[in-house]
Amino acid sequence: MDQISPHALDRLIPPPSTEVCRRVARCRSCQIRPRALFGPLSLPELDEVAPQVPDSTTPPGTVLYSAGERPEAVFILRHGLVKLEQYLPNGTCRIVRLMRPGAVLALETLVSGECDHTAVVVNRADVCRVPLPVVRTVMDKQPSLFPEMLRHWHQLVRQADDWLTHFSLGGVRQRVARFLLSMGGDEIGQTDASVVELPSRDDLGAILGTTKETVSRMVAEFRRDGLLVNLDPHRVRVDRVRLEVIAYADSETP
């Protein structure tokens, strides 16, 4: 797993003006921005911030940051899927969150300095790296960001709590069904909710707190029963109504 290229120089050595122009343009035309941290900013305010915010595209498997690091920045995810993993002292790992476009990664560095999780790119991801000083000065100048900030924290907590109930309670059969339902469509909400992009079996196991073998069996069973049809490898179409019956059945439906 390769580390993300160090951006530390970005604020010390001013980027060439062509790069500044690109960043400003990229920021202005960003589809995600309204839903992300700097949504409430005006265009002029944005043009001021954009030059100090480098962006990068990273392939699957890239480690954006590891638990304990101090990246001195937050990351805004513009495209792709990133998993946050947490390790127990004995080495077992659980994926505690999947971050989708519009999410802010490493928010916790604003509070404690260090990252709580290891963030690994699942799909190819586009991220903007916003240095902490930039976040802080923007927030001082523009208090309207405060509720926006709280909104993101709230979302983190909600997501964590849902994970705890949906993906840790009941049989694996139900948990897989719930996962498929929860991953339908993207957060913009405009793609077909019945098309789901599947992570690897290993990741699915780490999300649902089970093993890759069991997950594999469940998916196979769903496919046999026609609840699930392969589009490509790793993309399936699901039968949401029948999945919902399974996901929240009062007792098992054998």
Contact window for its own copies (CB under 8 A) among 34-42, 124-132, 158-166, 233-241: 158-166
Nearer to its own copies, 55 or 148 (CB): 148
Place of tokens 């949401």: 240
Q: Which of 20, 46, 63, 156 binds its own copies (CB under 8 A)?
A: 156
Contact window for its own copies (CB under 8 A) among 21-29, 42-50, 52-60, 90-98: 90-98
Extract the runs of DSSP E, i.e. beta strands, from 29-136: 55-58, 63-65, 73-79, 82-87, 93-99, 104-105, 118-121, 125-131
CA distance 250 to 105: 36
Q: Could you tell me the two tokens for 188? A: 């913009």
Place of tokens 């983190």: 156
Q: Is 254 in the site for DNA (CB under 7 A)?
A: yes
Show Cβ contacts of residue 197 under 8 Å, excluding neighbours closer than 6 positions: 81, 123, 183, 234, 235
Would residue 198 be called left, alpha or beta, if left means φ above 0 and alpha means ψ between -120 and 50 degrees?
A: beta
Q: Is 169 in the site for its own copies (CB under 8 A)?
A: yes
Q: Is 68 in the site for its own copies (CB under 8 A)?
A: no
Q: To which H or E segment does residue 112 belong?
A: helix 109-112
Site for DNA in 207-226 (CB under 7 A): 209-214, 216-217, 219-220
Contact window for its own copies (CB under 8 A) among 36-44, 53-61, 71-79, 80-88: 80-88
Nearer to its own copies, 125 or 135 (CB): 135
Q: Which of 21, 43, 150, 229 binds its own copies (CB under 8 A)?
A: 150
Instruction: State the nearest-atom distance from the C-beta of 32 to DNA, in Å.
Output: 27
The sign of the CA dihedral 12, 18, 23, 24 is positive
Q: 195 to each of 98, 165, 167, 209, 235, how far by Cα in Å? A: 17, 23, 20, 23, 7
**Do the beta carbons of residue 106 and residue 69 sit within 8 Å?**
no
Contact window for its own copies (CB under 8 A) among 22-30, 32-40, 161-169, 212-220: 161-169
Nearer to DNA, 103 or 120 (CB): 120
Site string for its own copies, 206-245 (x = CB under 8 A): ---x------------------------------------
Q: Which of 187, 186, 218, 222 is nearest to 201 (CA)?
A: 218
Instruction: State the nearest-atom distance from the C-beta of 160 to its own copies, in Å.
Output: 3
The DSSP-derived string for 59-88 is -TT-EEE-TT---SEEEEEEES-EEEEEE-
Contact positions vs DNA (CB under 7 A): 171-173, 200-202, 209-214, 216-217, 219-220, 233-234, 252, 254
Q: Interface residues with its own copies (CB under 8 A)? A: 86-92, 94, 96-97, 108, 110-112, 116-117, 146-147, 149-151, 153-154, 156-158, 160-161, 163-166, 168-170, 209, 248-250
